[in-house]
Structure 1
């Protein structure tokens, strides 16, 4: 098998995490591409019937990426491109030991299989902006080469720091493999379920007293578009992904028509659990930092080197989530406008 030049569509693609929103819908998009001969969808869980139908001509393999069977799949299907979308942020109990094992051990097994398979020439990793952490010492914008001032010590961010390291190790050992690492900002959309979507859907949203987090969002369609773009274009490197613009947490809550509940940092996690009736796992230390300080990415490389341009800005992503997602305002827009007018009138009268 010859090298797979950048900009050339792959011939045989294997996607891990096929039962997840991003993995499954990426498979469905790739299945519609006539230039790709074969698509292999892999997961230890069977996708929903709806998602399975959307996968079309793709072959689904139910296997655990922590097991040697992943190497046999790569060789058996003569795979030249691997999209590793399986790393997970949580299960019902939060970031459990099983999730950490899937993320870290599973990724090690995938990369080891890629290294032993001569046909593999392109690897795409869906990482996360959480690897930068979040603290008061952060720069205004994180560039891909900016080290985290306070690296995540545990949780999903820590997992992905390790997983990224293994991916770069693969690139050093197999220099004929192009490795692309994508670091998406918080993903929102009307269909995808994330911690942020669950958090912003609460009618009363606990926020850290005295802090104003600066946020960026990436629309679910742009997250899928970036994965598809990287899969078919094959530009190696590490790239931040986010929509243009920044909103504060207060603005996000306000636009959703919900009510802020300022609390001390130590009460954030228990209150979120109570107000969501246990449906949102406890907020961990890394999420507390994010909801206190936020995180903003520099996306110059995404545009100039990767060549990807999101369709949605941060604000448009938020508005689409509010309009079409599973959330409804506690206070209507007209009511907010009347309250604002009353506040302005009262302030004018006092002056």
Structure 2
């Protein structure tokens, strides 16, 4: 059942201080149909956003769901975005936070009687698939790439939600499956997650990147984070159920990246790049694992027609604009006044 706009919806957002969270709370707070937004995070931010209140909650901590349910009680919807990407060398830690933490959150949603749950899944939940348009729809299998912890965890939670929906048919469950999400103020965080905290952002200049490696399978989709946030807002305020793919219209490949960076495309064996990445990861020189590299090259292209038809969603930014925003943010060290998004220019 859709939320009644006249009553002013109360929405709780987990992971509210990250890349997606900061955009989602702003999108919700800016909608007159939303009466209040409570942002939950492990560390309370110094960020001030009109219409948004903050509270601390660490989903990874074992214990009963009672205290968490207390924070959710009275909410019309919960948007679950909390996710930990690192440490990639210790998948037990991310499993405890991402999977077990999500199970605690789902239990608290049911205990608190929240009527709607909007969960952040991912393109990473999908099994390997075609790299060509029109792409796969939401019926494509969600078994992930089992060797990558990120994909394995996202896929596992898809199975958990299958059971959750059977046990709680009264709760409207929405699963968002976006491609890669970029914006300027999240660029520093993403540089740290994938390239390490000591990768100098200014290196991502066209004159310092004379070529872009063309790897077999290097075709992926991106979306501006603010556009994804609008899809979350529409899902919260509608009666929509089920999964939604989210991506900008175009597919990004090596040639598209070369155009943005002013470089040229050079064909490089995939095995060569993987061997170098594996050595760097094992030496703890980079945080991005070779297993995630394997997964990215196998991700299917998404058809996001259902989001456009059911939610009435239309991205305001192109894929190139989202990538350009990310590159600007990395070079300048952009960020926000939250623990995950703290900006810092290295180099």
Q: Under TM normalisation by the shorter chain, which class is it?
A: 0.7 to 0.9
Partner of 2:330: 326
Write the distance in 1 (CA, Å) between the matches of 2:266 and 2:43.
38
2:101 matched to which residue of 1? 106
Aligned residues: 313
Match of 2:230 among 221, 225, 230: 225
Unaligned runs of 5+ in 2: 196-200, 333-347
In structure 2, distance between residues paired with 1:196 and 1:256: 20
Partner of 2:344: none
Q: Compute the displacement of 1:87 (Å).
A: 2.3
Question: Which of the pair has more CA radius of gyration?
Answer: 1
1:165 counterpart residue number: 159
How far apart are the structure 2 equivalents of 1:198 and 1:252? 17
Report the Cα distance in structure 1 between the residues aligned to 2:48 and 2:285, rounded to whole angstroms.
28
- 1:133, 1:69 → 2: CA distance? 33
1:22-41 Cα offsets, whole Å, 9 max, x none, are: 11332233234443333222
Distance in 2, matches of 1:225 and 1:94, equals 34
Supply the distance in 2 between the matched residues of 1:33 and 1:79 (Cα, whole angstroms).
Answer: 16
TM-score of the superposed pair, with normalisation by structure 2 = 0.77
CA distance 1:93–1:158, shift in 2 (3 Å): closer
Q: Any conservation in 2 of the 1:71–1:110 contact (CA below 8 Å)?
A: no
Q: Counterpart of 1:215?
A: 220
Deviation at 1:231, TM superposition (A): 1.8
Match of 2:11 among 10, 13, 31: 13
Distance 1:259 1:46 in 2: 44
**1:275-316 CA-partner distances (Å, limit 9, x unpaired):** 9x977413332423424x553101111111222111123233
The SS at the match of 1:255 is helix
Q: Considering only aligned residues, what root-mean-square deviation do their CA atoms show, in Å?
A: 3.3
Structure 1 portions without partners, runs of 5+: 329-351
Match of 2:293 in 1: 287
CA-CA distance at 1:266 after TM superposition: 3.8
1:183 aligns with 2:185: no
Q: Hey, what's the Cα distance between the residues in 2 that align with 1:236 and 1:166?
A: 16
**1:49-80 residue CA offsets vs partner (Å, 9 max, x unmatched):** 2xx212x3433221212445654343454222
Change (3 A) 1:288 1:220: same
Matches within 5 A, 1:240-319: 240-258=245-263, 262-269=267-274, 271-272=276-277, 280-291=286-297, 295-319=300-324
The equivalent residue for 1:347 is: none
Give per-residue Cα distances to partners, 1:225-244, cap 9 Å, x unaligned.
Answer: 11222122241110100001
Q: What SS does the corresponding residue of 2:38 show, helix, strand or coil?
A: strand
> 1:203-240 CA distances to partner (integer Å, 9 max, x unpaired)?
5577465x252222111211221122212224111010
Contact 1:216 1:296 survives alignment (8 Å): yes
The aligned residue for residue 75 of structure 2 is: 79
- Looking at structure 2, the residues matched to 215 and 321 of structure 1 have their Cα atoms a distance apart, in angstroms, of 15
Could you tell which deviates more after superposition, 120-129 or 27-36?
Answer: 27-36
Question: With CA pairs under 8 Å and 6+ residues apart, which has the higher RCO, 1 or 2?
Answer: 2
